[in-house]
């Protein structure tokens, strides 16, 4: 059986929840007994500034958490697409928020999944759940962790203080799974 090695960069503006979905993915992978690294990066502005994170998941020891050519990329906005699309590995997976990204991709050697994440999040009642739509599309395509472990991680990360946000995030995640499964 081939061992698992997956890496993804998630990028957007601060406040769009890219660090949050990176943490969820990392928690879910750890629950499955995998080795994981999660490296957040954000500008000093926080909300509105740039934010991205890298998640590496492996059955083996992770030699370096630094990824120059990711297998997958989840982007929430145009600046993130501009910055990271050229780095995506040939044959890689690009998940884009088509609600905010106004240009097409410049490459034809990758798989592109377009998800109107902000539109879906607004329709289900929380514009802040767009990140979960994109995570759902990514999980549907890669199956790097189970849906159940993402939902368990969501409960754990939200904790008691924010447990009222679980259901809206679950619905957004499910909508993303539907898009990623097409």
- pLDDT for 14 equals 85
Exposure class string for 143-156: b at 16+ Cβ within 10 A, else e: ebbebebbbebbee
Quick one: CA dihedral 28, 143, 76, 38, positive or negative? positive
- pLDDT for 3 equals 78
CA 63, chain centre distance (Å): 22
27, with CB counted inside 10 A (0-12, 13-18, 19+), is buried
What is the pLDDT confidence band of residue 46, given thresholds at 50, 70 and 90? low
Q: What is the DSSP letter of 133?
A: H
- pLDDT for 65 equals 87
Section 37-51 average pLDDT: 77
What share of the chain has pLDDT > 70, as a percent? 96
Section 105-115 average pLDDT: 96
According to CATH, the superfamily of the domain at 5-180 is: Pyruvate-ferredoxin oxidoreductase, PFOR, domain III (3.40.920.10)
Section 101-116 average pLDDT: 96
Pick from 48-52, 148-152, 154-158: least confident: 48-52
Section 16-32 average pLDDT: 96
For 122-134, write each residue's pLDDT tens digit: 999 998 999 999 9
- pLDDT for 59 equals 95
Section 53-59 average pLDDT: 96
């Amino acid at each position: 059986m081939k061992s698992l090695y997956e890496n993804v960069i998630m990028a957007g503006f601060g406040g769009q929840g890219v660090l949050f979905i990176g943490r969820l993915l990392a928690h879910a992978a750890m629950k499955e007994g995998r080795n994981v690294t999660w490296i957040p990066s954000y500008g000093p502005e926080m909300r509105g500034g740039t934010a991205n994170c890298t998640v590496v998941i492996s059955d083996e020891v992770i030699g370096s958490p630094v990824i120059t050519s990711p297998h997958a990329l989840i982007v929430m906005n145009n600046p993130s697409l501009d910055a990271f699309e050229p780095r995506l590995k040939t044959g890689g997976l690009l998940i884009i928020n088509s609600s905010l990204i106004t240009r097409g991709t410049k490459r034809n050697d990758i798989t592109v999944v377009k998800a109107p994440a902000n539109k879906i999040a607004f329709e289900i009642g929380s514009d802040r759940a767009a990140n979960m739509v994109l995570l759902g599309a990514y999980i549907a395509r890669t199956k790097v962790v189970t849906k159940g472990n993402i939902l368990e991680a969501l409960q754990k990360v939200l904790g008691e203080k924010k447990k009222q946000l679980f259901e809206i995030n679950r619905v957004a995640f499910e909508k993303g799974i539907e898009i990623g499964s097409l």
